[in-house]
C-alpha cells in the first residue's frame, strides 16, 4: 500500500513514518511506499520513502501526490496556533483551504482513501466544564481552533457522503517536543522542560496554576496509527476521537522536572506572563473524557515524570 | 442607516424588510435604505427599498452592495437542506463560500458592520439529548447542516477578531410558510398544513411520532430584528442564540389542523414515508433550551393552533 503524510518533514510526520516503516504494514497490508510531502524536503534513509516538496494548498501538488493507489493519508500539515492568530490569511489558506483541497482531490479520484486528520484542544474554548465531554460544544477562541473545527466538519461530511473514509484524532498538547521553540501558543509546554534539560534558560508565559492536557510524542504517534486502523463501523455517525491525555498544572510539570532533573534544572525557568499567549492557552480544556479512545484501545501516558524520562531516553 | 438583506426576495427576507420599513428604525437609527439582494429581483413598493440581482458568491457583486455605510446585514440567502444534499457543490458554493466572501468583503471595508446570520436545527444531529443544550456539540448529518455549522464558526471568529459584529440566530423549522413546496427536507412541515387549508392534497413523508421544533414566520421575523439589536457585550464569547420554538409531533400538528379547520382538511393529508427525507428530519433536535433567547427578550409561539390561525389571518 501507498501512504501519504502531509507535513511529512515535521516532527510528528517523521515519527509516524519511522514507526510505519518499523511495522512494515498498516491495517494488515504491506507498506510499499510512503510519500512525505512538506514545504521542506524530509531526509529519510529508506528506499520505501519518497520525500517531496510542495505547497499543499495548491491543487496541482495534491493531484500529483494523491492517486487511486494512495490508500491512507495522514494529514498533519498545519499552521500552528500562534502563527494562525498573527497571520489570519495564512492560517485560513493552510488549515482550512488546503484541508478542503485535499478532500476535494480524494473525492475526484473516487477511491475513498482513509484520511487521518489531526485536530486539537484548541477547538474547545469559552465556558468549559472541568472535564470536557464528547458531546461538549466547540467554541474555539482562536483562529487556529476555528480552522481546525471547520476542517473537522468538512472531514465528517466528506466521510458521511463516502468521498473519504476519514477520522479526526483530537490531540492533547504534545510534550516534550524535541527541537526548537515554535510559533504555537503551547510552545512553552515543551520549552520549560526541554531547555532546562539542555542547560538553557526558558520562559514560562502563564501562571503556574494553569492546567494543560498533555500527550507524549511516542503515545501520539502510536495513537495516529491505531486511529487509522479503526474500522469505519466502530466510528458510527461521529468519526472523531478525543485522544487520552494527562491533566497537569504547569506547577506539577515543574515538580516532575525537579523529580527527574533536580533543582538546578527548575532554576532555569523564568516566569514572565505573556497575556497574548495566556489568553489562548487558558481557553483550552485541561482535561476531556477519554472513554471512547480507551474503548478503541488508545492509551495515554502514566505520569509527566515518565514523559520526561522518555524524552531524555529518546534524545540520547 | 443602510441595511443589506441577502436572499432579500425570499420569504423571510421580504418579511424582515417589511417589518423594518414599518418600524422606520433599527437599533435607534432611522433607516434610509434597504438593499434587497437576490438571484431574482424583489418587488417592493417603497422608495427606501432598492432591489438588486446578483450571485452572492461573486465577490464583485458583494463589493458593489456592501460599503462602509452598510451598518447592518441580514445574511439570509441559502441553498436549502434537500437541495444541498442533492447538489453538494452548489451547497458548498452558496452556504459556505458566499458566506465567507461576505465576511471577507466586510473585513476589507473595515467598518465592522452588524451581521445577522441565520442558522438552523440542522447543525445538530447524531445522538442528541431530548432537549438540546447551548453547550451540546454540533454533529450535523447533512451537508446543509455542515455548511451552516462552518459558516457559524467563521462568523464567530470574524466577530472575535473585530472584522464584523456578528450574531448567529439558530432558527427552528419555520411553519407555516406561505407559497409552494420547496427543496428543503422540512418542506412538508408547512405543506401538510398549507395545502389542506387551500383545499389541496399534501404528502407527509415521515412518521406521525416524529418530533419537530417550530417557529412561526411572524415570530422568526421579530426575532431576527431583535437579534440584530442585541448589544455586543450581552453575547459574550459565543455570539450564537438558539431561538425559542414549539416542540410538537407531526400527529400533534395534524390534531391542531383538525381543531382549526376540521376533519375534511386533515383528510387531505396522504401518509407516504420517504426515507431520504425522514433520515434528515429525524436527525434534527425536537427541542432545545431557550433560556438564553428568553433572557434576551426573544419569544416563541404559544401553540401550533395559534400558528395556524396566524397563517390564515395573514393569508386573507
- 3-class DSSP state for residue A196? helix
Number of domains in chain B: 2
Q: Are A15 and A36 in contact (CB under 8 A)?
A: no
Instruction: Say how far apart CA B3 and CA B117 lie, in whole Å.
Output: 14
Phi and psi dihedrals of A165, rounded to 5?
-110, 85
Closest Cα partner for A186 from A166, A157, A206? A206
C-beta pairs of A36-41 under 8 Å, 24+ apart in sequence: A36/A5, A36/A8, A36/A9, A37/A4, A37/A5, A37/A6, A37/A7, A37/A8, A37/A61, A37/A65, A37/A77, A38/A6, A38/A7, A38/A8, A38/A9, A38/A10, A38/A13, A38/A77, A39/A9, A40/A9, A41/A9
Would an 8 Å CB–CB cutoff place A88 in contact with chain B? Answer: yes
In-domain check, residue A112: yes
Q: Which of B88, B137, B141 sits opposite A135 (nearest CB)?
A: B137
**One domain for residues B90 and B228:** yes
Say what the pLDDT of residue B4 is. 98
Instruction: Say how far apart CA A271 and CA A260 lie, in whole Å.
Output: 20
Say what the pLDDT of residue B315 is. 83
Q: Are B131 and B288 in contact (CB under 8 A)?
A: yes
Which one-letter DSSP state was computed for residue B111?
S
Q: Mean pLDDT for chain A?
A: 96
- Cβ–Cβ below 8 Å for A138 and B143: no
Closest Cα partner for A126 from B294, B162, B145, B160? B160
ipTM exceeds 0.90, yes or no = yes
In-domain check, residue A179: no
**One domain for residues B11 and B150:** yes
Residues in chain B: 316
CATH at residue A263? 3.90.25.10
Q: Which grid coordinates belong to A60?
A: 496541482
Say what the pLDDT of residue A316 is. 74
Say what the pLDDT of residue A315 is. 83
Peptide bond into A14 cis (omega under 30): no
**One domain for residues A84 and A226:** yes
- 3-class DSSP state for residue A172? coil
- Cβ–Cβ below 8 Å for B88 and A161: yes
In-domain check, residue A293: no
- Cβ–Cβ below 8 Å for B138 and A138: yes
* Region A129-151 average pLDDT: 96
Q: Which of B81, B108, B135 to mutate to test the interface with A (most CBs of A within 10 A)?
A: B135
In-domain check, residue A274: yes
Say what the pLDDT of residue B306 is. 97
Per-residue pLDDT of chain B (316 residues; tens, 9 = 90+): 999 999 999 999 999 999 999 999 999 999 999 999 999 999 999 999 999 999 999 999 999 999 999 999 999 999 999 999 999 999 999 999 999 999 999 999 999 999 999 999 999 999 999 999 999 999 999 999 999 999 999 999 999 999 999 999 999 999 999 999 999 999 999 999 999 999 999 999 999 999 999 999 999 999 999 999 999 999 999 999 999 999 999 999 999 999 999 999 999 999 999 999 999 999 999 999 999 999 999 999 999 999 999 999 988 7
Say what the pLDDT of residue A273 is. 97
Instruction: Say how far apart CA B119 and CA B151 lie, in whole Å.
Output: 9
Would an 8 Å CB–CB cutoff place B289 in contact with chain A? Answer: no
Total-model pTM: 0.96
Instruction: Say how far apart CA B303 and CA B253 lie, in whole Å.
Output: 10
**One domain for residues A12 and A112:** yes
**One domain for residues B69 and B93:** yes
The pLDDT tens digits of the residues spanning A28-74 come to 999 999 999 999 999 999 999 999 999 999 999 999 999 999 999 99
**One domain for residues B107 and B204:** no
Q: Are A253 and A246 in contact (CB under 8 A)?
A: no
Query: For B31, what's the count of Cα atoms within 13 Å in the CB-facing half-sphere?
Result: 25
Instruction: Say how far apart CA A62 and CA A105 lie, in whole Å.
Output: 7
Size of the A and B interface in Cβ pairs below 8 Å: 68
Would an 8 Å CB–CB cutoff place A103 in contact with chain B? Answer: no
- 3-class DSSP state for residue B37? strand
Scanning the structure block, which residue is given the C-alpha cell 510539570? Answer: A253
Q: Which of B140, B161, B238 sits opposite A126 (nearest CB)?
A: B238
Contacts of B161 in chain A (CB under 8 A): 88, 143
In-domain check, residue A262: yes
Task: Name the closest residue on chain B to residue A239, using Cα atoms.
Answer: B139
Say what the pLDDT of residue A232 is. 92
In-domain check, residue A228: yes
- Cβ–Cβ below 8 Å for B138 and A140: no
Across-strand partners of B49?
Answer: B34
- Separation of CA B180 from chain center: 17
Q: Which of A134, A136, A150 sits opposite B153 (nearest CB)?
A: A150
**One domain for residues A198 and A49:** no
* Region A267-287 average pLDDT: 95
CATH at residue B147? 3.40.50.720
Across-strand partners of B203?
Answer: B270
**One domain for residues A141 and A208:** no
Query: For B132, what's the count of Cα atoms within 13 Å in the CB-facing half-sphere?
Result: 31
Q: Range of B194's domain?
A: 187-212+246-286+302-315
Q: Are B271 and B196 in contact (CB under 8 A)?
A: no
**One domain for residues A306 and A230:** no
- Cβ–Cβ below 8 Å for A127 and B157: no
Q: Which grid coordinates belong to A265?
A: 534544572
Instruction: Say how far apart CA B170 and CA B120 lie, in whole Å.
Output: 5
Instruction: Say how far apart CA B277 and CA B185 lie, in whole Å.
Output: 5
In-domain check, residue A296: no
Asked whether residue A145 carries a pLDDT value surpassing 90, the answer given is: yes
Instruction: Say how far apart CA B292 and CA A127 lie, in whole Å.
Output: 14
Classify residue A88 as exposed, middle or buried by CB count within 10 Å of its CB (0-12, 13-18, 19+).
Answer: middle
Scanning the structure block, which residue is given the C-alpha cell 417589518? Answer: B19
In-domain check, residue A181: no
**One domain for residues B151 and B203:** no
- Cβ–Cβ below 8 Å for B153 and A156: no
**One domain for residues B163 and B207:** no
Would an 8 Å CB–CB cutoff place A161 in contact with chain B? Answer: yes
- Cβ–Cβ below 8 Å for B141 and A160: yes
Q: Which grid coordinates belong to A4?
A: 501519504
**One domain for residues A253 and A112:** no
**Nearest-neighbour CA in chain B from A61: distance (Å):** 22
Would an 8 Å CB–CB cutoff place B103 in contact with chain A? Answer: no
Amino acid at each position: 500500500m501507498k501512504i501519504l503524510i502531509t507535513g511529512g518533514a515535521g516532527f510528528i510526520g517523521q515519527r509516524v513514518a519511522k514507526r510505519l516503516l518499523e511495522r512494515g504494514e498498516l491495517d494488515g497490508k504491506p507498506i510499499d511506499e510512503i510519500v512525505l510531502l512538506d514545504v521542506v524536503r524530509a531526509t529519510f534513509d529508506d528506499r520505501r520513502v519518497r520525500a517531496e516538496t510542495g505547497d499543499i494548498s495548491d491543487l496541482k501538488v495534491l493531484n500529483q501526490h494523491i492517486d487511486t493507489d494512495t490508500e491512507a493519508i495522514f494529514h498533519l500539515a498545519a499552521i500552528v496556533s500562534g502563527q494562525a492568530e498573527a497571520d489570519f490569511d495564512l492560517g485560513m489558506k493552510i488549515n482550512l483551504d488546503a484541508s478542503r483541497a485535499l478532500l476535494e482531490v480524494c473525492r475526484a479520484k473516487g477511491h475513498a482513501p482513509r484520511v487521518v486528520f489531526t485536530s486539537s484542544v484548541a477547538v474547545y474554548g469559552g465556558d468549559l466544564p472541568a472535564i470536557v465531554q464528547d458531546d461538549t460544544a466547540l467554541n474555539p477562541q482562536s483562529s487556529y481552533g476555528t480552522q481546525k473545527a471547520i476542517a473537522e466538519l468538512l472531514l465528517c461530511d466528506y466521510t458521511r457522503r463516502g468521498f473519504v473514509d476519514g477520522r479526526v484524532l483530537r490531540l492533547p498538547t504534545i510534550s516534550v517536543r524535541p527541537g526548537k521553540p515554535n510559533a504555537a501558543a503551547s510552545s512553552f509546554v515543551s520549552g520549560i522542560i526541554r531547555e532546562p534539560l539542555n542547560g538553557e534558560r526558558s520562559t514560562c508565559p502563564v501562571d503556574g496554576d494553569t492546567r494543560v492536557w498533555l500527550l507524549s510524542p511516542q503515545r501520539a504517534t502510536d495513537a495516529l496509527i491505531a486511529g487509522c486502523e479503526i474500522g469505519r463501523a466502530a466510528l458510527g455517525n461521529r468519526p472523531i476521537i478525543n485522544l487520552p491525555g494527562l491533566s497537569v498544572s504547569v506547577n506539577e510539570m515543574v515538580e516532575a522536572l525537579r523529580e527527574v532533573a533536580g533543582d538546578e534544572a527548575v532554576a532555569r525557568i523564568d516566569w514572565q506572563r505573556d497575556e497574548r499567549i495566556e489568553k489562548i492557552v487558558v481557553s483550552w480544556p485541561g482535561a476531556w473524557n477519554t472513554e471512547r479512545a480507551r474503548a478503541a484501545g488508545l492509551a495515554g501516558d502514566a505520569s509527566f515524570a515518565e514523559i520526561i524520562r522518555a524524552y531524555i531516553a529518546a534524545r540520547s
